[in-house]
Chains A and B, each alone.
Chain A
Amino acid sequence: MINFPQLVVNSFVTGGLYLLAGTGLTLTYGLSRFPNFAYAEFVTLGAFTGYLFLRHPGQPVVPALLAAFVAAGLLSVAAHALVFRPLQARNAGLIHLMIASIGLGYVIRHAIGAIWGWSALSYQTLWQTYEVLTARLSALWLWLIVTAFLAGVALHLLLTRSRIGKAIRATAANPELARVTGIDTDRVTLLTWFLGAALAGTAGVFRAADTRLYPMLGWEILLPIFAATVLGGIGNFYGLIAAALILGLAENFGVVLLSTIGLSTEYRMAIAFLVLILVLVLRPKGLAR
């Protein structure tokens, strides 16, 4: 018997996670014009930073989220200032930037592995569960959905109502023109790298709380995040919101479909890939255009 309310809840959870984790990727991708594969590691660092605050049962979740937000954001700013900006200043091509991001990813992932080890850890927090219709809903999932929703609204307001948001959009649309109109594009870029990765860091906390915690955590959700980014249109935040939700639905309903036709549910990750390929064939510019 298929439990529809539960599937819808699960889809929102998955979608919320992809939204939080993908926002920074799509914004920095649109702004700096290369896909940063080290992004996975920002998610992982957030998760491990959260571990410092959620080691024992009964600890509140908000400090963990804030710490993950700051740690991942700062790491991202450092990565941009020390690796990517100098490379771009040397006119490194798109592929060189991608290779550098993969190399940086290995450095960060194995540094995390050196600090915290490679065996899986888990948060010690117990989450209250609620029953809504026939769906079970844990407090963790509520936190995740609410955080993703608030982050979405806050970013929307930031991008449309504030000067800095306008500056971000202007820089993404045309960096040269933005610079001649007096926008400090370097600062705008740094801020975007901070904000985006910071959200990814909080996504890491949620992912770790929902599953387990180890250095490959970020890498394992990197591909669906990329799929969501491409599906939404690179650099398009509103597209990402829709894409994250669509991928969440596709994955959770797809898993049910997989098990009814007798395939392994391990193929869950392949669903995002299938969506990615279909998008590239049918609508390469993403959903929005």
Chain B
Amino acid sequence: MDPVIYVLDTFVFVGIFALLSLSLNLEYGLTGLGNFGKVAFFMAGAYTWTLLSRAGVPFLGCLAGAALMAGVLGGLVTFPALRLREDYLAIVTLSFGEIMRLIVKAEKGLAGGVWGITVPSAFAGLAATPRLVAGANLLAVCATVALVFAFLQLLAHSPYGRVLRGIREDDVAAAAVGKNVVLYKAQVLVLGSAIAGVAGGLFAQYVRFIDPYMFLPTVTFFVWIMLIVGGPGNNWGALLGALVVELMNRGTRIAKDYLQLAVDPNNMQFIMFGLLIILILFYRPEGLLREGPVKTAARGKVSRWLSSS
């Protein structure tokens, strides 16, 4: 494989996973919601994008459709579990991911079922030079990550973000000061799922062919590893985690070709990532980057006032 394309490809995947870990950070890192079915919304976005773009809808239309579909599903599916303890949400989202995959597999007329479906390229004009296609994809992914990141960063440091942190720390207390906890949680899950849907759309567009076996629960697990490694509650951590884990993933895939292991390298990789997450939860559960203080507009004023006196 062309090394330039390999590097571009790596960063396209880092970007797509960064979107997923950012969205999980909004849900879990800020609000404390355990979404164990991230892949379901990623998949909903990917298939919506595919069907729309096959119907001739332009790039931004597909993107909006993917976000909308995933967001609506996110709201519908998680709502029944939101009033209950957090483990119910985990079970419902996990199950929903598997059901989504089942539906796509069983409804062969919808999107090719198990045989998968090809996705038209949004950059068909550049098809003659593969490096340009990869570059254009990277640009699109980076622009999306930058927008989403800026938005989530503003959100996290806004009064809205402070309510989310309040819900995470103590949702009874948040309710006691008059916040509609279930509504906030529902909004967060709709937004988080929509971001995952966008990631799915960009993924489908980039890989040009999707089938249900690309959307195993493993994807969700990897996003969780990224966020926990990077640092829940910190958007920079979500980015860093996506980078570190995807590079590790690539590294072990390259190492496979050079190492002689007694164990099949594919099994070895999963055993390694499984142990990694357990060790991190043991020894550094706050991740690489800790959650920083909330940056409010008044923080500068207060620190100036404190230092002047």
Contact = CB atoms under 8 A, between A and B. Distances in A.
Interface string A255-282: 0000000011011011011001100110
A94 B91 CA distance: 13
Contacts of B267: 110-111, 113-114
B94 to A, nearest CB: 7
A112 to B, nearest CB: 9
Contacts of B263: 114
B96 A105 contact: no
A230 B278 contact: no
Contacts of A284: 83-84, 88
Contact of B264 (A114, A227, A263, A281): A114
Interface in B71-121: 80-81, 83-84, 86-88, 90-92, 94-96, 98-99, 102-103, 105-107
A273 B101 CA distance: 13
Given A99-B281, A280-B80, A35 B102 contact: no
Contacts of B84: 280, 284
Contacts of A52: none
Interface centre among A110, A227, A270 (most CB of B within 10 A): A110
B221 interface: yes
A276 B87 contact: no
B277 interface: yes
B228 interface: yes
Contacts of B98: 223, 269, 273
Contacts of A266: 102, 105-106
Interface in B236-250: none
B154 interface: no
A276 B277 contact: no
Contacts of B88: 230, 280, 284
A111 B270 CA distance: 9
Contacts of B271: 106-107, 110-111, 114
A92 B281 contact: yes
A280 B103 CA distance: 22
Contact of A276 (B36, B91, B102, B273): B91
Interface centre among B81, B96, B270 (most CB of A within 10 A): B270
A273 B102 CA distance: 12
Contact of A94 (B87, B224, B266, B277): B87
B273 A103 contact: yes
A258 to B, nearest CB: 10
Nearest to A224: B95
Interface of A: 34-35, 37, 83, 86-87, 90, 92, 94-96, 98-100, 102-107, 109-111, 113-114, 223, 226-227, 230, 263-264, 266-267, 269-270, 272-273, 276-277, 280-281, 284
10 contacts: A98-B90, A99-B281, A100-B277, A100-B281, A102-B36, A114-B271, A266-B102, A270-B99, A272-B95, A280-B84
Given A102-B36, A277-B92, 13 more contacts: A34-B87, A35-B91, A92-B281, A92-B285, A95-B32, A98-B90, A100-B278, A102-B277, A114-B263, A114-B264, A267-B102, A273-B99, A284-B88
